[in-house]
A and B are shown apart, each in its own frame.
Chain A
Amino acid sequence: MSWIDIGHIDDIPLRGARRLKTHLGCVAIFRTDLGEVFATADRCPHKGGPLSEGIVHGQSITCPLHNWVFDLNTGQAKGEEASIPTYPARIVDQRILIDATQLTAQSAA
């Protein structure tokens, strides 16, 4: 694991999300009502909707375009044969850390 500090927890609105630009495309960072953080691909596999613009409820995200719902833990879509990549993220002393092993892989190559 290689944890990178990408910002303060309050940079993300409560029950909201922000985007992170990476070589793998945009990654969405979510903050739940309980202050948990999750990182997933920002792109909905259905029609490419930006998940970071969706509604965060519990540990789920609803895509803003056609209301597909994804579990933020597993990336699995509810009731659909589809999923989104998830990436390890955590909070340490109010700072958001994300595991950059995969996300910066291209630069190492």
Chain B
Amino acid sequence: MKQRLIVIGAGMASGRAIEHLVQAAPDAFDITLFNAEPRGNYNRIMLSPVLSGEKTYEQIVTHDDAWYARHGVTCRFGEQVVAIDRAAKTVTGENGTLPYDKLIFGTGSNPFIIPLPGHDLEGVIAYRDLEDTQAMMEMDAGRKVVVIGGGLLGLEAAAGMAARGAEVTVVHIMGHLMERQLDEAAGYLLKKSLEAKGITIRLQANSREILGQDGHVKALRLDDGTDLPCDLLVMAVGIRPNVALAQAAGLAVGRGIHVDDQLCTSDADVFAVGECVEHQGAVFGLVAPLYEQARVLAQTLLGEQAAFMQKSLSTKLKVTGCDLFSAGDFADGEGRENIVFRDPARGVYKRLVIENDRLIGAVMYGDTADGTWFFGLIKDGTDIAEMRDTLIFGPAYQGGDTADPLSAVAALPPEAEICGCNGICKSTITDAIAAGASDLGAIRATTKASASCGTCTGLVEQLLQVSLGDDFVMPTAQPVCGCCDLTHEDVRRLIKSQELKSQEAVWQELGWKTRNGCHVCRPAINFYLLADWPLEYQDDPQSRFVNERKHANIQKDGTFSVVPRMWGGITTPQELRAIADAADKFKVPTVKVTGGQRIDLLGVKGEDLPHIWADLNRAGMVSGHAYSKGLRTVKTCVGTDHCRFGTQDSTGLGIKLEQMLWGSWTPHKVKLAVSGCPRNCAEATCKDVGVICVDSGYQVSVAGAAGMDVKETERLADATSEQEAIDLTVAFIQLYRENAKYLDRPYKWVAKVGLDWVKARVVEDLHERARLIAAFELSQSVYRKDPWAEHAATAERYQPLADLTLEAAE
């Protein structure tokens, strides 16, 4: 006799289970199917192609009325189940009660709606069912949409609406898109592809509230106060298993309905399948495990042995033109090794994660052809020790090719600027090569490229090699470090010409061979990015050496030194008292007067730093940046204030310069001095910039040294006014910031580019001088601030994370 089977929910998992049952044993069950939606089973994961117009709803219906009729499934669609009596074994729907022998929950999941103010406004939807999709299909040209959530579903929704012409902004709380499936590098490439489709992506963006007008959504307001106007707001931030009915029926429920390996719940006659279940702590959203559950459930109901096991999953995004693939586990764990491959020319990124000679994870972007092969290796646990060296090139390519170091240059568009001094773009140079220029000298003679400051020489040589191949013998240039093939000068040029504004962009577009650089290149890249894109790029403390990260100098015993700023070397009794009090309070072992006219407190413990800073801040003092690749001090003499020989107010000019320049980051440290007369008591002629006051004005000289090398400054220009002296100094510093190699002091940089080249820009070309000053001021709008005050506010970061000696004692 037939068993009575009731299924609650007509979704993809329960639908697949019914298919298995009616195929394997058409006479075993008398099936009744409840569904709250007024329709049967359709292929939910194909809603994205419906949204983008590539498919119609009719094409994604899995089971139509005829199918249910043919297999004798009684359909109660559009009817809610109101109660389940497990003792009596009955299910009560809105239209009456039915008895069952076996019961299946296929109640699926609910989209999570963030309870932001305004979430109940009209026009705020999730992306879950056909109704949501239809609402999104109305978003065509001229309509504005905001999607909250940069995961799989959110991005498919965004791309679908963008394809219909809507203006779409994706707001994502994390630092990169699809962070559960992709690493930062692949996330960066995905963002680039989506932006090319006209979608605006806002990362690390927190939503604060949804604004409405007449009950309809009008805009999304972010935490930073930005309003994003929209006609429709889609929340795609995740799903929650729908367990309400199971909970009411008294079944064991956690995040989802608890099931064992046979999909059986805490009641032996009740089963659950699909997104509503929780199996060994995991819940499920992708289709592959759901289908596997359906198969196991059907076999169990038919009395066969079967067990559901969780397996590695792979993900693909259904957005045309965004080729990405991720599989297995590519994060969280020790003892794992990475193989990284980047091809900037093709926008390709691949990363394989290996543990114990087995592939356990893969992330790919741009070229995903080998995805299935890698996925197979992951699932099968194949030993890859033998093919490790060539693994990343895929099954067809076990020959052992290596990435082309020239591909970054080859990938540059023809209009990319190579020589910034003379405004020469790539095509001008390649045209010259085609016309017969076959070495650097010929390029310089015909195009002027690399004929001025020379920092683009490496790029021009690479272009020669790309164009001429073996006919051009490349001089050996020193790359930044083992992570890449480019010199510092090349990297700087490419960051500007390709508008690379994040570390991920640099790693990818310039073909970095490591995941995120090393201690040699990363501080340099961090500086180049913040110097070239002060507003767009955010300084990364974790890419700085300890002194700049801690805003104090580490000493050989692991303690730190603290140096408050004394503007122009001028202090007050009140400041001196505060310094003395701090030295007492924090038991500072050594107090020393520095060569830069200020006071150094040596031997401060790391965890005391924020507290000593707070004390010094209260007395009006700020960081002296005695630790930074930035402005250190401006040494002065007393000038006309007290000295009988002084010709100008050298102290006043020193203070003005220090207040103008403090807080700025530079390629290496920068020290200034201003002397009030040619007797030069401030020793200005061995500084990076030295000003000597004379009766007729100010002699501004640059590029001195008094460290590893000793070198007298060279005269940049004579200024007639104090303002002109300040302008020349600021313009020189900015030119240095824009062009020098990281860790080159100004004297080394000037020796490379030549003083004449510097003079042409800072002294002679008044437009360029004005641009440099404006660019410096823009950067200072971000960086002219006291880091101590900021860090004192996060004092807990300076304490140990935990103290196990205390826990053990308890």
Binding site for B on A (CB under 8 A): 4, 6-7, 11-16, 18-23, 26, 29, 33-38, 47-50, 53-60, 62, 64-65, 67, 69, 72-73, 88-91, 96, 100, 103-104, 106-107
Contacts of B550 in A (CB 8 A): 53
The 17 listed contacts between A and B (C-beta, < 8 Å) are A7-B802, A11-B801, A14-B175, A15-B540, A18-B797, A21-B802, A26-B800, A29-B801, A33-B183, A48-B557, A55-B519, A57-B515, A58-B516, A60-B518, A65-B554, A67-B519, A89-B334
- From B516, B549, B802, B808, A33 is in contact (CB under 8 Å) with B516
Other than the given A35-B331, A90-B334, 9 more pairs (CB < 8 A) read A21-B802, A21-B806, A37-B334, A48-B558, A53-B554, A55-B545, A57-B519, A58-B514, A64-B554
Contacts of B333 in A (CB 8 A): 36, 90
Binding site for A on B (CB under 8 A): 175, 183-184, 330-338, 514-519, 522-523, 540-546, 549-550, 554, 556-558, 606, 797, 800-809
Nearest B residue to A39 via CB reads B334
Contact call A13/B541, Cβ cutoff below 8 A = yes
Nearest-neighbour CB distance to chain A for B527, whole angstroms, equals: 14
- From A26, A48, A49, A107, B809 is in contact (CB under 8 Å) with A107
Cα separation A96 to B332 with both chains bound (whole Å): 11
Across the A-B interface, give the 9 residue pairs with the lowest CB-CB distance, nearest first: A107-B808, A62-B519, A18-B801, A64-B546, A15-B542, A53-B546, A6-B802, A21-B803, A55-B519
Cα separation A99 to B554 with both chains bound (whole Å): 30
Contact call A4/B804, Cβ cutoff below 8 A = yes
Cα separation A69 to B330 with both chains bound (whole Å): 23
Cα separation A34 to B543 with both chains bound (whole Å): 15
Contacts of A53 in B (CB 8 A): 546, 549-550, 554, 606
Contacts of B540 in A (CB 8 A): 15
- From B519, B542, B804, A104 is in contact (CB under 8 Å) with B804
- From B336, B541, B545, A64 is in contact (CB under 8 Å) with B545
Cα separation A13 to B550 with both chains bound (whole Å): 13
Contact call A57/B804, Cβ cutoff below 8 A = no
Asked whether A20 and B802 contact (CB < 8 A) given A48-B558, A49-B558, A55-B522, the answer is: yes
Nearest B residue to A100 via CB reads B804
Contacts of A67 in B (CB 8 A): 519
Contacts of A29 in B (CB 8 A): 801
- From B338, B549, B554, A58 is in contact (CB under 8 Å) with B338
Contact call A6/B801, Cβ cutoff below 8 A = yes
- From B330, B331, B804, A21 is in contact (CB under 8 Å) with B804
Contact call B556/A65, Cβ cutoff below 8 A = yes
Cα separation A91 to B334 with both chains bound (whole Å): 10
Nearest-neighbour CB distance to chain A for B103, whole angstroms, equals: 32
Nearest A residue to B331 via CB reads A34
Asked whether A91 and B332 contact (CB < 8 A) given A47-B556, A49-B558, the answer is: yes
Asked whether A14 and B542 contact (CB < 8 A) given A65-B554, A73-B334, the answer is: yes
Contacts of B545 in A (CB 8 A): 55, 64
Contacts of A48 in B (CB 8 A): 557-558
Contact call A36/B334, Cβ cutoff below 8 A = yes
Contacts of B330 in A (CB 8 A): 34
Contacts of B184 in A (CB 8 A): 33
Contacts of B809 in A (CB 8 A): 107
Contacts of B800 in A (CB 8 A): 18-21, 26
Contacts of B515 in A (CB 8 A): 33-34, 57-58
Nearest-neighbour CB distance to chain A for B547, whole angstroms, equals: 8
Cα separation A89 to B516 with both chains bound (whole Å): 22
Asked whether A15 and B519 contact (CB < 8 A) given A26-B800, A34-B330, A36-B333, the answer is: no
Contact call A55/B801, Cβ cutoff below 8 A = no
Contact call A73/B335, Cβ cutoff below 8 A = yes
Cα separation A13 to B541 with both chains bound (whole Å): 9
Nearest-neighbour CB distance to chain B for A102, whole angstroms, equals: 11
Cα separation A96 to B330 with both chains bound (whole Å): 18
Nearest-neighbour CB distance to chain B for A71, whole angstroms, equals: 10
Cα separation A89 to B801 with both chains bound (whole Å): 14
Nearest-neighbour CB distance to chain A for B690, whole angstroms, equals: 32
Cα separation A93 to B659 with both chains bound (whole Å): 48
Contacts of A107 in B (CB 8 A): 808-809
Asked whether A13 and B808 contact (CB < 8 A) given A36-B333, A58-B514, A58-B516, the answer is: no
Nearest-neighbour CB distance to chain A for B695, whole angstroms, equals: 49
Cα separation A99 to B429 with both chains bound (whole Å): 60
Contact call B334/A57, Cβ cutoff below 8 A = no
Contacts of A7 in B (CB 8 A): 801-802
Contacts of B514 in A (CB 8 A): 57-58
Nearest-neighbour CB distance to chain A for B331, whole angstroms, equals: 4
Cα separation A38 to B332 with both chains bound (whole Å): 10
Contact call B519/A34, Cβ cutoff below 8 A = no
Contact call A34/B183, Cβ cutoff below 8 A = yes
Nearest B residue to A49 via CB reads B558
Contact call A35/B518, Cβ cutoff below 8 A = no
Nearest-neighbour CB distance to chain A for B553, whole angstroms, equals: 11
Contacts of A16 in B (CB 8 A): 541-542
Contacts of B806 in A (CB 8 A): 21
Nearest-neighbour CB distance to chain A for B178, whole angstroms, equals: 14
Cα separation A66 to B294 with both chains bound (whole Å): 59
Contact call B516/A35, Cβ cutoff below 8 A = no
Cα separation A33 to B793 with both chains bound (whole Å): 25
Contact call B805/A23, Cβ cutoff below 8 A = yes
Nearest-neighbour CB distance to chain B for A29, whole angstroms, equals: 6
Contacts of A89 in B (CB 8 A): 334
Nearest B residue to A22 via CB reads B804
Contacts of B516 in A (CB 8 A): 15, 33, 57-58
Nearest-neighbour CB distance to chain A for B670, whole angstroms, equals: 22
Contact call B546/A4, Cβ cutoff below 8 A = no
Contact call B807/A19, Cβ cutoff below 8 A = no
Nearest-neighbour CB distance to chain A for B548, whole angstroms, equals: 11
Nearest-neighbour CB distance to chain B for A107, whole angstroms, equals: 3
Contact call A57/B522, Cβ cutoff below 8 A = yes
Cα separation A58 to B801 with both chains bound (whole Å): 22
Contact call A55/B802, Cβ cutoff below 8 A = no
Nearest-neighbour CB distance to chain B for A6, whole angstroms, equals: 4
Cα separation A19 to B605 with both chains bound (whole Å): 14
- From B519, B606, B804, A23 is in contact (CB under 8 Å) with B804
Contact call B558/A21, Cβ cutoff below 8 A = no
Cα separation A18 to B801 with both chains bound (whole Å): 6
Contact call B334/A54, Cβ cutoff below 8 A = no
Contact call A72/B334, Cβ cutoff below 8 A = yes
Nearest A residue to B542 via CB reads A15
